Structure 1
Amino acid sequence: MSRNPFDLEGRIALVTGANTGIGQGIALALAKAGSDVVIVARSDPSETRSLVEAEGVRSHVIKADLSSIEPCARIVEETVETFGKLDILVNNAGIIRREDALDFSEEDWDAVMDVNLKVLFFLSQAAARHMTGWTSQNGERGKIVNIASMLTFQGGIRVPSYTASKSGVGGLTKLMANEWAAKGINVNAIAPGYIATNNTAALQADETRNRQILERIPEGRWGDPADIGGAAVFLSSKAANYVQGHILAVDGGWLAR
């Protein structure tokens, strides 16, 4: 048995929105720590799958549109059918819509809230129903890691539904921890700062905005998806068995400024 508290060998992790960016970074980090990885994505995740399998672990791809809760139960069922269990769920999938609050549409409100909050809850519920039975049998703890945001703590501008959804992620993380800690499940969240991904390429390319962002970050650099991956490994591991309902900011010091 490994004496490394961060070792995830033998664990089965499910990561949503894992085809690129932060989700890919998390999937790869979990694989490097020894976990087999179920990659849930709407678009082709072949690059992520290749990176994961290069670490010598198993992978499985589930194509799913997480704009509704319809696939939630199926995703968990397919994971358990494939690997026999589900130990770790990382709720990374999310979308954003931008518009002034005075002009924000109901359609954009519902679309963001459905993916970022409603699906996150019902996928967590489906996973927890499996985990509660599994953990009681083998003494292991289930792990649920939600992806929050700096806007879990701040208001933001021109992203009302995103701000509301990520604030809700923070609240749900605490609620689920309160209810499921005694059932053998740890529920925590990661709040990423400014991470260099394809989603932030336009900000990085804008010389003025890029300078303003870097001036605010004490670390003086954009984060890398691997930075979020490291936090996900910690929260998914035995090292975090006594961490419950926590929102871990991985932001280079942005919130401390």
Structure 2
Amino acid sequence: MSTHEHPRSLTRVVVDAQHLADLYRAPEILRVVNVWDAASARVVAELPGTRAIATAGHGIAASFGYPDGEHIPLERMLMSVERIAAVTQLPVTADLDAGFGDSGEAVRRAIGVGVSGANIEDRLRPLAESVEVMRAAVEAGRAEGVAFVLNARTDALVRGGDRPRDESIADAIERGRAYLEVGAECIFVPGVLNADETRRLVEGIGERKVSVIGLPGALTAAEYEALGVARISYGPMPQNVALTALKRLGGSLLADGVIPEDTEILNNF
């Protein structure tokens, strides 16, 4: 399918955004298995439990040979996102890193390729500056006529350095509340969170207003759901698992192995 022949209309993005917001607000936690290209998006979209597609910025960058952290040009990132949106009818929420220097413009261009929501990270910049980054993203959606679903990420935990964990949790709550005030739908707090920390974040930020990542050592999706979390994603981990499988298969084949008989043909575009 050519993305240029079958772009999502603005009307469709508007509808997708409302659907995506409803998924965040529902009592059931939104589980998203992050994808990084059209092939992975199609595989995940066809799983019965998939209700939305979320891209992994790290994964897309790696697929082009770039390190994480906005080293990939926005144009190339959005090219992949557009191809991902073209192979599914589900709402698409994109990882837009820290906004590529202009969060409003990044959102405007993302809407143009069929995106109805996004993660944008604060990188622990000063709070006032971070609030403006999030505000610009939300207002760009409004200017396009889209209630853009911003999952505002705070790096209060992952960039907190040596400060006490309690201070980082308190910072995440302060930042989360500030981002909600300027129109974010949810607050993404990456890091391995235990039950007590998760409960504090939900109490401080709001029920169904906290988004987490399912890293090794984290709670299960059901456990986070019971604590009032809105969304769980997995970042670059699905790609890492896929590449680990490729590495193991490659080693087997180079050692005179064979392709397993139960292998499915999943990339038949």
Band the TM-score falls in, shorter-chain normalisation? 0.3 to 0.5
Higher helix share: 1
Taking structure 1 as the reference length, what is the TM-score of the superposition?
A: 0.38
* Greater fraction strand: 1
Larger radius of gyration: 2
